[in-house]
Amino acid sequence: MRLREQPLHALSRQADRGRLYLDQGAARLRIRSSVKGFIRNLHLLYGAFPYLPADTGFADHHVELRRGRRLRALIRPQSRFRTDGQEPFEPFPLHGALPLFEWGINWSFAQRANQYILLHSGVLARADQAVIMAAPPGSGKSTLAAAMMLSGFRLLSDEFGVLDPNSGQLLPMLKPVALKNQSVDVIRAFSDQAVIGPLFIGTRKGDVAHLAPNETSTDGLHRPARPALVIFPAFEAGATLDCRLMAGEDAFAHLAFNSFNYHLLGPIGFHAVADVIAACPAYRLRFGQLEAAIEQIRSLLDEADRNTQRAAQGHPK
């Protein structure tokens, strides 16, 4: 059963009792909240996720989203986020509970999931071939990830490349894609399949709305993918497509040194990221049009696939 098939009032009751569970793949959350608007947004944006009953039990992160108390419940009401007893952020306005929750989860996961290498990247997959997309904020990474999901790729994550050092595979850490500013309208226009939540105006990251992961993505919550391609995308309005192969050592430096926890993991992180770069071609991709960028990524995946097959047959790449 999917979360959206559960009546809103039943989810609200579970959340009220601190027994609402959310499976994001690499982490499971237990949520307590009495903020009604927040649960409504959760129902919409996590609608395709599996529904977990109130007696699920284990969770990696215990989070609470509550209203401000006393005067703050009445005057300029607030929402506050707590995770395992910590309150990492200042309160947000009550209507901003969802972005607060999303950033809070990112923070919580980045702080604690050190059994994995947490690359600062989006990850999408075609079958089980993963594309790692790493780029600084403002480069169009989330917009491209959203458009790829809406074009048939499976979304594993928009924010975290969760690399398991034991298997060398990438695990889903699935959450709604945070679209910022103009990207919201770009994705609305890109596909009528896009389920987009309310627009939160004037957050610290600008105007933000969230794109719900689709069923293809939520059905693969526990299906890892093998790294096949590394892309460093950069959107430039009006730019023609430009795709350049990167030197392995440069790609390594960009991927490793921008990860959330590479510095904590020492040789484990070193070898895991080196294995990714040794196995995958890495490209800088400058694009001005989503469709052209996605077509190029498909063609790079085809090429990577052919090379893998040739290597398996003993031919040089």
Partner 1 sequence: MQICYRRLDDGAIIFDHRTWKTHVLTPAATIIYEALDEIRPADGGPVPNAAALALLQEDLDIETDTPSTQQLLRMLRHLGVIA
Q: Are strands 282-287 and 242-245 parallel, antiparallel or unpaired?
A: antiparallel
Site membership for partner 1, residue 263 (CB under 8 A):
yes
Best CA proximity match to 155, nearest among 167, 165, 166, 147? 147
C-beta closer to partner 1: residue 77 or 248: 248
Which of 128, 109, 129 lies closest to 120 in space, CA to CA? Answer: 109
Give me the least distance between CB of 269 and partner 1, in Å please.
9
In the complex, the smallest distance separating the C-beta of residue 230 from partner 1, rounded to whole angstroms, is: 12
Stretch that binds partner 1, among 3-11, 28-36, 203-211, 256-264 (CB under 8 A): 256-264
SS3 call for 182: helix
Q: How far apart, in whole angstroms, are the C-alpha atoms of residue 254 and residue 129?
A: 21
Count residues binding partner 1 (CB under 8 A): 18
Q: Counting contacts by CB under 8 A, is residue 314 touching partner 1?
A: no
Q: What's the closest the beta carbon of residue 273 comes to partner 1, in angstroms? A: 9
Answer whether 78's CB lies under 8 Å from 91's CB.
yes
Pick the piece of the chain touching partner 1 (CB under 8 A) from 35-43, 146-154, 263-271, 293-301: 263-271
Q: How far is the CB of 249 from partner 1 (least distance, A)?
A: 3
- What is the smallest separation between the CB atom of 304 and partner 1, expressed in angstroms? 15
Please tell me whether residue 252 binds partner 1 under the rule CB under 8 A: yes
Q: Is 317 in the site for partner 1 (CB under 8 A)?
A: no
How many whole angstroms separate alpha carbon 201 and alpha carbon 147? 22
195 binds partner 1 (CB under 8 A): no
| Paired tokens of 217 | 């993505």
CA 174 to chain centre: 5
Contacts of 238 (CB under 8 A, 6+ apart): 288
Q: Strands 226-235, 282-287: parallel, antiparallel or unpaired by DSSP?
A: parallel
Q: Which stretch binds partner 1 (CB under 8 A): 16-24, 48-56, 140-148, 254-262?
A: 254-262
The closest of 131, 114, 119 to 279, measured between CA atoms, is 131
Nearer to partner 1, 73 or 264 (CB): 264
Q: Judged by CB under 8 A, does residue 8 bind partner 1?
A: no
Which of these segments, 35-43, 144-152, 210-218, 245-253, binds partner 1 (CB under 8 A)?
A: 245-253
Inter-residue contact 120 to 258 (CB < 8 Å): yes
Query: Is 107 an interacting residue with respect to partner 1 (CB under 8 A)?
Result: no
Among 8, 110, 253, 292, binds partner 1 (CB under 8 A): 253
Residue 206 sits in the site that holds partner 1 (CB under 8 A): no
Three-state SS at 220: coil
- Please report how close the Cβ of residue 284 comes to partner 1 at its closest, in angstroms: 15
Least distance (Å) from partner 1 to the CB of residue 126?
A: 25
Q: With beta carbons less than 8 A apart as the criterion, state whether 224 and 171 touch.
A: yes
Q: Does residue 249 touch partner 1 according to CB under 8 A?
A: yes
Among 34, 65, 229, 197, smallest CA distance to 131 is for 229
What DSSP state is assigned to residue 231?
A: E
Q: Which residues bind partner 1 (CB under 8 A)?
A: 247-253, 256-257, 262-263, 266-267, 270-271, 274, 277-278
